[in-house]
Amino acid sequence: MFAHGAMDFFYFIIFHGFAFTVVAGLLSTWVDRKVSARIQWRVGPPWYQPFADVIKLMGKESIIPEGANRVSFLIAPFLGFTAVILVSTIVWMANIFPGASFVGDLIVVIYLLYLPAIALIVAGSASRNPFGALGASREMNLMLAYEAALLFAVFTVVVKNGGIISLGGILGYQAVHGAMLLQGASCIIAFVVTLLCMPAKLGIVPFDIAEAETELIAGPYTEYSGVTLAIFKLTKAMLLFTLPIFMLTLFAKTVWTPWTILWYALILVFIILVKNVNPRFRIDQALRLFWLPVLGLSLLGIILAAVGL
């Protein structure tokens, strides 16, 4: 990191990792709410509503349930939040200075992306609330469901580019050979698989199985309030922005062009449309969906990549 000076590093983590991602993420949740409202023939909130929500939550008192594991209960929101900041820092640094990316940062990013889900599980489990515990169990099952397919999809890119496993290297490869998405059928399949996994990773309908308002009140979030809930909301919003940007880095050359906004908007609209026209899956249905057809699809993708298509 000091190759670019300590100040650069702080600039990245504060500006790209945190401030920019928070603003973009909260705006994305506004787009989500507005578009959903229009689909449902409502007016929808003004653009600053998500910001107002977070600021208001920060001013509210935090309530800790009786008999909960206080330390774990308060640390859990932190865990996911920290991980998302790190992911967006690494992804943006790779995009702006491809040379600054380190070997295997792709693996680091994949591992860090586990953490928001773990944070949710620890939260639900530590709150002592039965709805929280049920939500935690569902979240873990869901993560196992989509993770295998997502891993195969991400490694399709690695197989296709001949074993380059750093984000900077993948961007460099794409700068020479064109976007990964245009490299053949295997990459298109892999991209489709990531699109299918994304709502599950983000916990959005039809895969909001862990929160499931109509069944579990709010799942792991049930006992959260005040600033702790605000941090969870921020984490979710940042993930809504960071995850598509990470996928675009892998599949669509670079995120540092005007096209990015269009690409990102397309993915966001896709997620919103899927959310508004589908009911929620049951956890066993989601498991079957991801472990049979989606995993099969991603396996097909990586086999095609291995034979050079």
Residues 11-40 that bind another protein (CB under 8 A): 13-14, 17-18
Of residues 66 through 85, those in contact with another protein by CB under 8 A are 66-67, 69-72, 74, 77-78, 81-83, 85
Taking the least distance from each CB to another protein, the nearer of 46 and 104 is 104
HSE-up of 108 (CA within 13 Å, CB side)? 16
Output the smallest distance, CB 271 to another protein, in A. 23
d(C-alpha 33, C-alpha 11), whole Å: 31
Kindly tell me which residue out of 49, 137, 254, 276 binds another protein, with binding defined by CB under 8 A.
137
- Residue 189 CB contacts under 8 Å (≥ 6 apart), including other chains: 153, 156, 297, 298, 300, 301, 304
Q: Can you say whether the dihedral through the CA atoms of 299, 302, 308, 309 is positive or negative? A: positive
Q: Does 157 bind another protein (CB under 8 A)?
A: no
- DSSP secondary-structure letter at 41? T
Cis peptide before 206 (omega within 30 of 0): yes
CB of 151 to another protein, least distance (A): 5
Two tokens at 288?
A: 């079957």
CA distances from 230 to 50, 58, 75, 186, 283 (A): 10, 6, 14, 40, 27
From the CB of 206, what's the least distance to another protein, in Å? 17
Q: Is 91 in the site for another protein (CB under 8 A)?
A: no
Please say which residue, 83 or 198, places its beta carbon nearer to another protein: 83
Closer residue to another protein (CB): 122 or 247: 122
- The answer to whether residues 302 and 186 touch, using CB atoms and an 8 Å cutoff, is yes
Under the binding rule (CB under 8 A), the answer on residue 10 touching another protein is yes
Q: Does 148 bind another protein (CB under 8 A)?
A: yes
Half-sphere exposure (CA, 13 Å, Cβ side) for 154? 25
Smallest separation (angstroms) from another protein to the CB of 143: 7
Please choose, out of 26-34, 149-157, 193-201, 251-259, the segment that lies near another protein by the rule CB under 8 A: 149-157
Residue 211 corresponds to which tokens in the numbers above? 């929160």
C-beta of 74 vs 192, nearer to another protein: 74
Please list every residue from 228 through 287 that binds another protein, using CB under 8 A: 228, 230-231, 234, 283-284, 287
Spatial CA neighbour of 67 closest among 137, 156, 129: 129
Minimum distance from residue 274 beta carbon to another protein (Å): 23
Site for another protein in 97-126 (CB under 8 A): 99-100, 102-105, 107-108, 110-112, 114-115, 118, 121-122, 125-126
Q: Which is nearer to another protein, 168 or 264 (CB)?
A: 168
Measured CA to CA, the distance from residue 170 to residue 152 in angstroms comes to: 16
DSSP conformational letter for 12: I
Chosen residue from 26, 143, 187, 204 binding another protein by CB under 8 A:
143
